Amino acid sequence: MPFKRYVEIGRIALVNYGKDYGKLVVIVDVIDQNRALVDAPDMVRGQMNFKRLTLTDIKIDIKRVPNKKTLIAALEAADVKNKWESSSWGRKLIVQKKRASLNDFDRFKIMLAKIKKAGVVRQELAKLKKETTA
Amino acid sequence: MAPQQRKPHVCRNPDLIRGVGKYSRSKMYHKRGLWAIKAKNGGAFPKHEKKAVAAAPTEKPPKFYPADDVKKPLVNKRKARPTKLRASITPGTVLIILAGRFKGKRVVFLKQLTSGLLLVTGPFKINGVPLRRVNQSYVIATSTKVDISGVNVEKFDDKYFGKKVEKKKKKGEGEFFEAEKEEKSLLPQEKKDDQKSVDAALIQSIEAIPDLKSYLGARFSLKAGMKPHELVF
């Protein structure tokens, strides 16, 4: 019931609107009630409204407004990339991206694979059904 | 070092902005070495004699002046070219035909003909599409490519696909309706052989890629949830 993900220095957030859509950023300072100073290894540090951010579970240990080098070192130390990509949210995003980039030929191959898998599952099911009724 | 090779010469007077060069007239005079040319020629710039102009034959005044001015048509320097081919369509690309008898068929692109139409083949054994011309606008180019190096498409051009002109037959009144229906044009054996020769090499390279044969044999269709503007082809 209570809040678990707080806006704090070091909180990793996902950008959900705008030019940096889909990027993981670190909240590096809070400017006022609505805005945060936000930084990521591949972008210039800048302000962002909280409405554009979705907080994640990941938090890293940094002081207020670190320089880029310290920030990158802290991200490496906390292993944010792997934590994110192994989390269910991160995995879902990866799958979405993969699906969106599929070729027409890829979609065809996936269709064949799905049919094959369904066939195998159905065979197993039929076998099990036979065993229980026999 | 071969005497023919010369590095392309960089401009002596680069533009600061359009219309304004970096160097002044006097500086350019020095840079171009006009002082050296003058010095070689003893203080004055070398002059060439004017070429003797052959005396033009004296023209007689015209006998007739038209009453009204005749307007000359504007000069048109446009050249007829085949339609610009989309960058995504290269020889060997798999295309999806969108209209006509073969709509939805996935087909291999061979080359662009001089009329601008695309020469395309099924291959015939795989999906029933023969060597055929197709307009670029009625085609989706996928990013799947097939190796087309073993195929010789030199001999195909627009004339190969043109309609055959029949000799006009004498119209007998009674036989008029019967005679017209009887003749059905059969495909000449030569075209069938062309199809086979083109497809032979193609089918080999198609079978090298797993699932590609069944892919080409299947038709494309939009299913539920597919948004064409979001699909990557």
- Out of A101, A104, A112, the one facing B142 most closely (by C-beta) is A104
* Chain A residues near any Cβ of chain B (below 8 Å): 100-105, 108-109, 112
Residue B2 is given by DSSP the state -
- Nearest by CB to residue A102, choosing from B94, B96, B232, is B232
Q: Which of A101, A105, A112 sits opposite B144 (nearest CB)?
A: A105
Question: What is the chain B residue with the closest CA to A113?
Answer: B211
How distant is the Cα of B142 from the closest Cα of chain A, in angstroms?
Answer: 7
Tally DSSP H helices, then E strands, for chain B.
6, 7
> Which of the two residues, B4 and B72, has the higher pLDDT score?
B72
Q: B217: which chain A residues are within 8 Å (Cβ-Cβ)?
A: none
pLDDT of residue B184: 64
A101 contacts on B by Cβ (under 8 Å):
232
Interval A7-55: pLDDT, tens: 999 999 999 999 999 999 999 999 999 999 999 999 999 999 999 999 9
Evaluate if residue B177 carries a pLDDT over 70: no
pLDDT of residue B53: 80
pLDDT in tens, B36-76: 999 988 888 888 888 888 777 788 888 888 888 888 899 99
pLDDT computed for residue B175 by the predictor = 54
pLDDT at position B218 is: 95
In chain B, which residues have their Cβ closer than 8 Å to the Cβ of A108? Answer: 211, 214-215, 218
Q: What is the pTM of this model?
A: 0.74
Amino acid, res. A86: S
Q: What is the DSSP string of B141-169?
A: EEEEE---TT---TT--GGGGSPPPPPPP
How many A×B Cβ pairs under 8 Å? 33
**C-alpha–C-alpha distance, residues A4 and A130, integer Å:** 50
Chain B residues with at least one Cβ partner in A under 8 Å: 94, 96, 106, 142-144, 211-212, 214-215, 218, 220, 230-233
pLDDT value at position B176?
54
Least confident of A97-111, B29-43, B158-172: B158-172
**One-character DSSP codes across B97-110:** E-SSTTTTBEEEEE
Residue of B nearest to A108 (CA): B215
Mean pLDDT (whole number) for B5-25: 87
Q: What is the pLDDT of residue B45?
A: 81
Checking if the pLDDT of B154 tops 70, the result is yes
Res B3: pLDDT: 60
Report the distance separating Cα B219 and Cα B102, nearest Å. 9
The predicted pLDDT at position B93 comes to 95
Of A102, A103, A108, which has the smallest distance from its Cβ to B218's Cβ? A108
Q: Is B142's CB within 8 Å of A100's CB?
A: no
Structure confidence at residue B11 (pLDDT): 86
Identify from B97, B146, B211 which residue to disrupt to test chain A contact, counting A C-beta atoms within 10 A and taking the largest count.
B211
Q: What's chain A's average pLDDT?
A: 95
Is 60 exceeded by the pLDDT of residue A111?
Answer: yes
Q: Which of B144, B211, B230 sits opposite A104 (nearest CB)?
A: B144
Residues B101-148: tens digit of each pLDDT: 999 999 999 999 999 999 999 899 999 999 999 999 999 999 999 999
* Opening angle at CA A79, ends A62 and A94, nearest 5: 120
Of A101, A105, A112, which to mutate for an interface test with B (greatest number of B Cβ within 10 Å)? A105
For residues B142 and A87, what is the distance between their CA atoms, to the nearest angstrom? 34
Contact B94, B106 (CB under 8 A): yes
Q: What is the pLDDT of residues B67-93, one digit of tens each?
A: 888 888 999 999 988 899 999 999 999
Query: What are the DSSP E strand ranges found in B132-217?
Result: 132-134, 139-145
Contact residues for A34 (Cβ-Cβ < 8 A; gap 6+): A49, A50, A51
According to the model, what pLDDT value does residue B56 have?
A: 78
Contacts (Cβ under 8 Å, ≥6 apart) of A14: A22, A23, A24, A25, A53, A54, A56
- Would you say B97 and B139 are in contact if contact means Cβ atoms under 8 Å apart? yes
Please give the DSSP secondary-structure letter assigned to residue B136: G
Single-letter code of the amino acid located at A115:
I
